Amino acid sequence: MSAPKYLIDTNIIIGLEDWKEVSPELADLTQLAARHGVGIFVHATARDDIARDSDVARRTVSLSKIAKYPLITKVRGLTQPDLEAEFGVCARPNDVVDATLLHALKIGVADFLVTQDRGLHERAKRHSSDLGGRVLYVADALELLRSTYEPSQVTFPFVEETETHTIPLGDPIFESLRDGYPGFDQWWAEKCVKAMRKCWVVTDNGDLAGIVVRKDERPGDTDAKLPGDKILKLCTFKVRPESRGIKLGELLLKNVLWFAQKNRYDVAYLTTYPEQVALVDLLEYYGFTHTYINSTGELVYEKSLSRERLLIQRGQSFFDAARLNYPRFCAGSEVPVYGIPIKEAYHEILFPELVQRQQTDLFQVGGIGTGPRTPGALREKWRFPFRVKAFSVRSHFGIR
C-alpha cells in the first residue's frame, strides 16, 4: 500500500517558506510526513498564483522555494469553463486556482488537500461531502497523520520512551547481553541505531537500569506463531542485575502490555534463554505462553491480546483472569469489589498505570531522571490488591 499524497495550497507554502516563524502545527505536519514517507506536493497552478505577485523580487524568491516540492502538473485541455461546470463560478484568478486544486483531488492524483482557505473548504463541501472531507485544515491534517502513523502513548511513572541511538553502546547494561548474544554490537548498530527503533528505559540514581526495545512486525515477517495481523516484538528486555528486586522488570512489562493493548496489537512476543528464570517467571505470571524453541536455543514466549470482553474460564478465579489477561480485567455485578485503604505513596507503587500527574518533575523535563522511587521493593503479596480505584483504568485507557 503506497503512502498518501498531501497537496498543499499556496497559503500553506507561504506559511512554510516565508521569512517568518513557522507555526508549530505546520512544522509538525512536515516532520511527520517526512518521517513516515508521506508525500507533500504542490500543484503547477500554485506557480501561476505566485507568478501574479507584482513584487518581482518576492516573486522570484517564492518561485525558487516551491521548486523543492514535488510537482503535480496540469491536466491537458482543462479549461475554466470545465472547472466552473464542476466546481462553480470562478470570478477571479484565485478561484480558478482553487477549482484546479479540487480537480486534482477529485481525479485522485492527490489524496488530501491542505489549506487554510475557508472559501476553498466551502467550495469543496458544495461539490460533495466526499470531496469536502478530503480538504483539511492544517490541524486536521496533522491529527490524521498522528492517528494513522503515530502510536498512542502510555505514560507510566519513571518509564521514558526514546530512540535506541540515544543509548551509548558502552553503557554497562549491555555487558551481559554481549556475553549471551555474539555479534550484539553489530546487531545494535545495524538493526536498532540505524533504524532508530523506539525503546522504553528506566533509570536508577541516574544510571540506565532497564530497557525494552520494540519492533513492529506483520505476518510473513515475524517469528511469532500465534495468529495476528499486528505484532509487537520485544527485541531486547533487560534489567541491570544491580537494579533487580525493585520491580523494574514488572514496571516495564506493564508499560509494554498497556501500549500493546491501547494500540490494538494482536500479539506481543520475545525470546529468552532458559537461564533467565526471573524473566520467564514474570512473563508466565502475566499470561505469556512458551510456544517453541528457536534455532539458537532461545525460548519464544508469546501473548495474544484481545479486544473482546474478558470472560472467566471454568474454574478460574477473577484474580487469575486479571493476571493472565493484563491489562484487561473483569467488571460487573458478579465481581466482588473491596475497598482497601492504601497510602498514596504505596498506591503509586502498586498501580503505576493509574498515576496521573498534573505537573511534571522539574528535573525530568531536563532529561535528568530522579530514579525509580515508585517501583518499590515490595514483596509479591502486594502485587494485585484490587481496590475500587483500579476500575478507573477502563475510562483512563479506553479498555474493556
Per-residue pLDDT tens over the stretch 86-122: 999 999 988 999 999 999 999 999 999 999 999 999 9
Angle at 176 between CA 171 and CA 179, to 5 degrees: 120
Query: Which residues belong to CATH 3.40.50.1010 in the chain?
Result: 5-149
Region 264-290: mean pLDDT is 94
Region 156-178: mean pLDDT is 90
Measured distance CA(326)–CA(286) in Å, rounded: 6
pLDDT score, position 376: 40
Please state, for a pLDDT cut of 70, what percent of the chain lies above it.
85
Cα-to-chain-centroid distance, residue 231: 14
Handedness of CA 30, 31, 37, 38 (dihedral sign): negative
Q: Is 312 helix (H, G, I), strand (E, B) or coil?
A: coil
pLDDT score, position 109: 95
pLDDT score, position 178: 87
What is the amino acid identity at position 133?
Answer: G
User: Mean pLDDT score of the chain, rounded to an integer?
Assistant: 84
Judged on CB neighbours under 10 Å (0-12, 13-18, 19+), 160 is: middle
Alpha helices in 107-215 (DSSP H): 118-127, 129-133, 138-149, 175-180, 184-187
Secondary structure letter of residue 325 according to DSSP: T
Closest to 139 in 3D by CA, of 46, 15, 43:
15
Summarised one tens digit per residue, pLDDT across range 349-392 is 677 777 665 555 544 444 444 444 444 433 333 333 433 333 33
- Residues whose CB is less than 8 angstroms from the CB of residue 12 and which lie 6 or more positions away in sequence, other chains included: 26, 114, 115, 116, 138
pLDDT score, position 373: 45
Region 294-300: mean pLDDT is 94
Closest to 302 in 3D by CA, of 283, 315, 289, 284:
289
Measured distance CA(374)–CA(398) in Å, rounded: 24
Residue with cell 464542476: 86
Beta-ladder partners of 7? 41, 113
pLDDT score, position 374: 41
Secondary structure letter of residue 352 according to DSSP: G
Measured distance CA(102)–CA(83) in Å, rounded: 9
Spatial contact of 267 and 303, defined as CB atoms under 8 Å apart? yes
pLDDT score, position 207: 87
Measured distance CA(209)–CA(201) in Å, rounded: 7
pLDDT score, position 398: 38
Q: The pTM is what?
A: 0.71
Which cell is 335 given? 465481581
The answer, yes or no, to whether residue 260 has pLDDT greater than 70, is: yes
Query: Which residues belong to CATH 3.40.630.30 in the chain?
Result: 152-400
pLDDT score, position 241: 79
Measured distance CA(73)–CA(212) in Å, rounded: 47
Please state, for a pLDDT cut of 90, what percent of the chain lies above it.
53
Which cell is 292 given? 517453541
Report strand pairing: 39-43 vs 5-8: parallel
Residue 64's pLDDT band (cuts 50, 70, 90): confident
Out of 43-52, 117-126, 169-178, the most confident range is: 117-126
Question: Distance between terminal CA atoms of the chain?
Answer: 31
Spatial contact of 127 and 86, defined as CB atoms under 8 Å apart? yes
The answer, yes or no, to whether residue 1 has pLDDT greater than 90, is: no
Region 325-341: mean pLDDT is 85
The fold adopted by the segment(s) 5-149 is Rossmann fold (3.40.50)
Report strand pairing: 160-163 vs 198-204: antiparallel
Measured distance CA(100)–CA(87) in Å, rounded: 9
Superfamily name with CATH number, domain 152-400: Gcn5-related N-acetyltransferase (GNAT) (3.40.630.30)
- Residues whose CB is less than 8 angstroms from the CB of residue 138 and which lie 6 or more positions away in sequence, other chains included: 12, 15, 23, 25, 26, 29, 114, 116
